[in-house]
Structure 1
Amino acid sequence: MEDTFQRLYEQYHQDLFQFLFYMVRSREQAEDLVQEVYIRVLKSYNKFEGRSSEKTWLISIARHVAIDWFRKQKTLKQRIFDKFDWDQQQVVDHTQPLPEEFAIQNEQIKKIYQSLNACSLDQRTVIILRYIQDLSISETAEVLGWTVSKVKTTQHRAIKHLKKDMENTLNEEGIAIEKKRVE
């Protein structure tokens, strides 16, 4: 079991951490929740039947850990994302863009993540699983315990919602810039 646990840790730790980080928006909390995932894995690995991949099984456990944390914090209806200070957080990126590219990318990524605030928890989860964790639609359905159709519908609505929110943000920024020019 020790070898299996070590392999799972080495192979999936970064994926689990990233998923939880995007869900709870706190590096420290994500680290704590990853530990909870590993505790649950140790307790239930012998029940893993292999009907899904290990990755989807682990992310499903991570999703349940995050939901349990939200429930304990009574924050399902609150916007944790609104309290997040993007200037103080860093997500590991193994590419090395030029400084000006980094500034542009950082601003664009910041706007995308802020637009995730406007999404429901289900929509946010689908976006994270599909586009950040690179899971297929069927793998996402397995993780969430949903049908493929529900994943597709939620994904479509989330993208539509993100696009609308980002367009509104850009329009508001354009109006603010225009007002400064007039003054």
Structure 2
Amino acid sequence: MEWTDVYEEHADNVFRFLMYFLGNREDAEDVTQETFLKAFHKQDSYKQQASIRTWLIIIARHQAIDRVRRKQRGKLLHNLFRREQPEQIALPEEMLFQSETKRELYLEIQNLKPDYRAVVILKGIQELTNQEVADILGWSEGKVRVTFHRAIKSLGGKLMKEAEAYGMV
């Protein structure tokens, strides 16, 4: 396995997943690099039962969850010591979407719980198959379908129309 080829072929997909999942370009870039470093060091554990893309997104998802947990712990400790109110999370300087509708949908996706967010990004945005999403998340295909349906439903009535317009349902 030639790692420069693997990186060139899959870095954009991993980055896009992380951008949606983390909602921050800097974190997405960092975690993309961490993902490929971890994959390189763990390449012996790749069993080729799933595609390399699936394996990389599994790693990326775990790395992203770890990043979110570390940030949350850091903010909590910072706020406890400084006795300040938690700050609002600012939107990335470069908005992913230009239109207001897409921006609203993006923000709503960021507010979903992590499992819902992951399945919406993987299935609805990255257009992976139910089987690929199931492999990445360690779920059955049935759970992917049900969770995706619930996630889309939780986006709310107003955004349901936009999700349909963008082919997410």
1:6 to 1, 4, 7: 4
Residue 110 of structure 1 pairs with residue 115 of structure 2: no
Deviations 1:51-94 (A, max 9, x none): 0011111000000100111121227xx9xxx62426x2244xxx
Quote how far apart the aligned CAs of 1:165 are: 5.7
Deviations 1:103-138 (A, max 9, x none): 6xx111101112214421110110000122111011
| C-alpha distance in structure 2 between counterparts of 1:18 and 1:84, whole Å | 19
| CA gap 1:145/1:41 in 2 versus in 1, 3 angstroms | same
Structure in which a larger fraction of residues adopt helix: 1
Counterpart in the other structure of 1:94: none
Is the CA contact (8 Å cut-off) linking 2:122 and 2:128 kept in structure 1?
yes
Counterpart in the other structure of 2:18: 20
2:39 to 41, 65, 89: 41
Counterpart in the other structure of 2:122: 129
Is the CA contact (8 Å cut-off) linking 2:116 and 2:151 kept in structure 1?
yes
Deviations 1:116-170 (A, max 9, x none): 1442111011000012211101100000011111111110101111133637xxx
| CA gap 1:64/1:129 in 2 versus in 1, 3 angstroms | same
| TM-score where L is the length of structure 1 | 0.73
| CA gap 1:117/1:26 in 2 versus in 1, 3 angstroms | closer
2:140 to 129, 142, 147: 147
Residue 30 of structure 1 pairs with residue 16 of structure 2: no
| C-alpha distance in structure 1 between counterparts of 2:104 and 2:15, whole Å | 22
Segments of 5+ residues of structure 1 without an aligned counterpart are 92-101, 168-183
Residue 162 of structure 1 pairs with residue 155 of structure 2: yes
Counterpart in the other structure of 1:85: 91
For the pair shown, the structure with the greater C-alpha radius of gyration is 1
Name the Cα RMSD after superposition: 2.1
**Identity level (%):** 35
| C-alpha distance in structure 1 between counterparts of 2:57 and 2:91, whole Å | 25
| TM-score where L is the length of structure 2 | 0.79
Segments of 5+ residues of structure 2 without an aligned counterpart are 77-87, 161-169
| CA gap 1:46/1:15 in 2 versus in 1, 3 angstroms | same
Whichever residue aligns with residue 26 of structure 2, its letter is: E
Number of equivalent positions: 147
Whichever residue aligns with residue 57 of structure 1, its letter is: W
Is the CA contact (8 Å cut-off) linking 2:10 and 2:53 kept in structure 1?
yes
Whichever residue aligns with residue 8 of structure 1, its letter is: V
| CA gap 1:90/1:118 in 2 versus in 1, 3 angstroms | closer
